[in-house]
């Protein structure tokens, strides 16, 4: 079978298994298997696929047909223009979380012309957010925490991959507990899926991504509330809290933040799809 035929067949198989973007995913899986980029793949369309490669390709397709996310099969995902290692046990970074990075950068640019900020990302997962910030803010001191040792191991690999292991301090523990000092910015994409929505998540998410990265309790706000309650003791005056939220949670988190920080400026920022996505709380 030629590469072209293998791709056509794979694309049909994936489409019949309800995989969206089946032609693209078939190409990505074969490029991954053969260790080549798209240009090389297209140059080799008429080449024969060896029986060994054909068998290995069938195995990859089987994994994808079982709804294992393609990022876990390929072992990486892009975030904020950088490539991150991902594996089961860690949430696959989502493009909408880039808004957290953008908001933190805006704040640093406007509020820290003379001093280097201290930043804490809580629930860092793969480390994508903390590392993206570290790459753009070479003088910032960044703590990245997680309750999951498995996630921290993956974040460690990513810190080394991007050469920021001396500037991103990985700490294990519950929310703000592990922070050794007060910081200027606390940002987090904490679990915020409501209990009743967990069963409605796609098979890719429900069956493969870690539950401790998703489940946020009855209203989805258990961790968000806990972090806001703890933040007072761990934030410097003039500091900022940035929290990613889910659809329909805007009003509840604004009122929570206003109760806890009556003097703060409390705002919601929308993502590219126009959804309220990030709560920001600026302390006077
Ligand atoms: C939605 S994921 C976000 C991961 C990563 N920051 C990202 O945006 O791709 C939430 C992360 O919070 C971590 N987490 C859950 N509960 C936590 C807690 N109580 N304290 C610290 N981290 C927690 C999970 O292990 C998971 O890595």
Within 13 Å and on the Cβ side, how many CA atoms surround 127? 36
pLDDT at 203: 94
Average pLDDT over residues 76-95: 97
pLDDT at 114: 86
pLDDT at 211: 95
Q: Tell me the Ramachandran region of residue 76: left when phi exceeds 0, alpha when psi lies from -120 to 50, beta otherwise.
A: beta
Strands 168-172 vs 141-146: parallel, antiparallel or unpaired: parallel
Question: pLDDT tens digits for 233-245?
Answer: 999 999 999 999 9
CB 185 within 8 A of CB 212: no
Atom of ligand 1 nearest to the CA of 124: 6
Q: How far apart are CA 180 and CA 171, in angstroms?
A: 10
Strands (E) in the chain, as ranges, are 76-79, 82-85, 118-122, 141-146, 168-172, 183-188, 235-244, 265-270, 276-282
Atom of ligand 1 nearest to the CA of 130: 6
Report angle CA 209, 161, 95 to the nearest 5 degrees.
45
Q: Ligand 1 site: residues with CB under 6 angstroms?
A: 91, 93, 97, 122-126, 128-129, 145-148, 151, 174-175, 189-191, 212-213, 223
**Pocket of ligand 1, candidates 190, 205, 221: which has the most ligand atoms within 8 Å of its Cβ, to mutate?**
190
For residue 113, is pLDDT > 90? no
Backbone angles phi, psi at 270, to 5 degrees: -95, 150
Atom of ligand 1 nearest to the CA of 94: 9
Distance from residue 56's CA to the centre of ligand 1 (Å): 33
CB 204 within 8 A of CB 17: no
């Amino acid at each position: 079978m030629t590469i072209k035929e293998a791709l056509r067949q794979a694309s049909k198989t994936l489409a019949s298994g309800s995989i969206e973007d089946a032609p693209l995913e078939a190409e990505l899986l074969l490029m991954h298997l053969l260790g080549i980029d798209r240009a090389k793949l297209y140059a080799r369309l008429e080449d024969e696929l060896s029986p060994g490669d054909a068998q290995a390709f069938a195995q990859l397709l089987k994994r994808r047909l079982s709804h294992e996310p393609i990022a876990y099969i390929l072992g990486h995902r892009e975030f904020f223009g950088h490539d991150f290692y991902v594996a089961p046990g860690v949430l696959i970074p989502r493009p909408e979380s880039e808004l957290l990075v953008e908001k933190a950068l805006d704040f640093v640019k406007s509020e820290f012309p003379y001093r280097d900020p201290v930043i804490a990302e809580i629930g860092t997962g793969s480390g994508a957010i903390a590392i993206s910030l570290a790459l753009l803010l070479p003088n910032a001191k960044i703590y990245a925490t997680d309750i999951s040792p498995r996630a921290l191991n993956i974040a460690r690999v990513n810190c080394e991959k991007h050469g920021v292991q001396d500037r991103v301090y990985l700490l294990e523990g519950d929310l703000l507990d592990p922070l050794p000092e007060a910081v200027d910015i606390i940002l987090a994409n904490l679990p915020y899926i409501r209990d009743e929505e967990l069963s409605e998540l796609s098979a890719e998410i429900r069956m493969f991504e870690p539950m401790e990265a998703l489940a946020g309790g009855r209203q989805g706000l258990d961790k968000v509330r806990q972090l806001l309650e703890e933040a007072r003791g761990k934030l410097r005056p003039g500091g900022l809290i940035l929290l990613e939220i889910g659809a329909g949670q805007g009003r509840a988190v604004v009122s929570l933040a206003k109760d806890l920080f009556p003097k703060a400026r409390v705002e919601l920022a929308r993502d590219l799809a126009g959804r309220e996505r990030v709560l920001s709380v600026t302390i006077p």
